[in-house]
Amino acid sequence: MSEVPFGDLKRHYQAIRPQVDAAVQRVLESGWYVLGREVAAFEEEFAAFCGVRYAVGVASGTEALQLALVALGIGSGDEVITVANAGVPGTVAILLAGARPVFVDVEVGSHNLDPDRLEAAITPRTRAVMPVHLFGRPAALDPILEIARRYHLPVVEDCAQAHGAHYQGRRVGTYGDLACFSFYPTKNLGCFGDGGMVITDDEPLAARLRQLRAYGWGRKYYSELPGGTNSRLDEVQAAILRAKLPHLEAWNRARQERARWYDQLLAGSPASTPTAPPSGEEHVYHLYVVRCPRRDALQSHLRAQGIGTDVHYPLPTHLQLIYRDLGYRAGDLPISERLAGEVLSLPTYPELTRAEVEAVAAAVHSFVPSEEGP
- Residues 6 or more apart whose CB falls under 8 angstroms from that of 49 comprise 164, 171, 245, 248
Instruction: Show me where the domains of the chain are located.
Output: 9-104+112-246, 248-371
> Which DSSP helix (H) or strand (E) runs through 196?
strand 196-200
- In terms of Cα–Cα distance, which of 256, 234, 245 is closest to 190? 245
> Could you check whether 9-104+112-246 and 248-371 share the same CATH topology?
no
Q: Which residues of 202-224 are buried (b: 16+ CB within 10 A; e: fewer)?
A: beebbebbbbbbbbbbeeeeeee
Sign of torsion over alpha carbons 43, 44, 45, 48:
positive
Interior CA angle at 79 toward 134 and 66, to 5°? 60
- Residues 6 or more apart whose CB falls under 8 angstroms from that of 307 comprise 3, 4, 346, 347, 359, 360, 363
Q: What is the pLDDT of residues 116-173, one digit of tens each?
A: 999 999 999 999 999 999 999 999 999 999 999 999 999 999 999 999 999 999 999 9
Q: How far apart are the first and last CA of the chain?
A: 27
The span from the CA of 297 to the CA of 151, in Å, is 45
Q: What amino acid is encoded at 245 in this protein?
A: L
Query: What letter does residue 278 receive in the DSSP assignment?
Result: P
In the chain, the percentage of residues whose pLDDT exceeds 70 is: 98
Which homologous superfamily is 248-371 in? Aspartate Aminotransferase, domain 1 (3.90.1150.10)
Question: pTM (2 decimals)?
Answer: 0.96
Q: What amino acid is encoded at 304 in this protein?
A: A
Using alpha carbons, list the distances in angstroms from residue 214 to 59, 161, 228, 233, 373: 11, 26, 6, 11, 52
The span from the CA of 102 to the CA of 93, in Å, is 13
- In terms of Cα–Cα distance, which of 272, 364, 350 is closest to 14? 350
Q: What is the pLDDT of residues 333-345, one digit of tens each?
A: 999 999 999 999 9
Indicate the pairing of strand 79-82 with strand 126-129: parallel
318 Cα distance to chain centroid: 19
Residue 130 CB neighbours (<10 A): 27
Is 3 within 8 Å of 340 (Cβ atoms)? Answer: no
The span from the CA of 205 to the CA of 207, in Å, is 5
For every residue of 80-110, DSSP letters joined together read EEE-SSS-SHHHHHHHHTT-EEEE--B-TTT
Indicate the pairing of strand 217-219 with strand 100-103: unpaired
Which residues make beta-bridge pairs with 311? none
The span from the CA of 66 to the CA of 60, in Å, is 10
Q: What region, left, alpha or beta, does residue 227 occupy, with left being phi > 0 and alpha being psi -120 to 50 degrees?
A: left
- Phi first, then psi: give them for residue 106, nearest 5 degrees: -115, 165
| Confidence at residue 369, expressed as pLDDT on a 0 to 100 scale | 81
The span from the CA of 268 to the CA of 273, in Å, is 10
194 Cα distance to chain centroid: 13
- Which of the residues in the chain have pLDDT under 50? none
Number of H helices, E strands in the chain: 13, 14
Query: What letter does residue 155 receive in the DSSP assignment?
Result: B
SS3 content of the chain, % helix, strand, coil (to 5): 40, 15, 40
Q: What amino acid is encoded at 288 in this protein?
A: Y
- In terms of Cα–Cα distance, which of 240, 230, 331, 169 is closest to 27? 240
The architecture in CATH of the region 9-104+112-246 reads: 3-Layer(aba) Sandwich (3.40)
Query: What letter does residue 332 receive in the DSSP assignment?
Result: S
| Confidence at residue 172, expressed as pLDDT on a 0 to 100 scale | 98
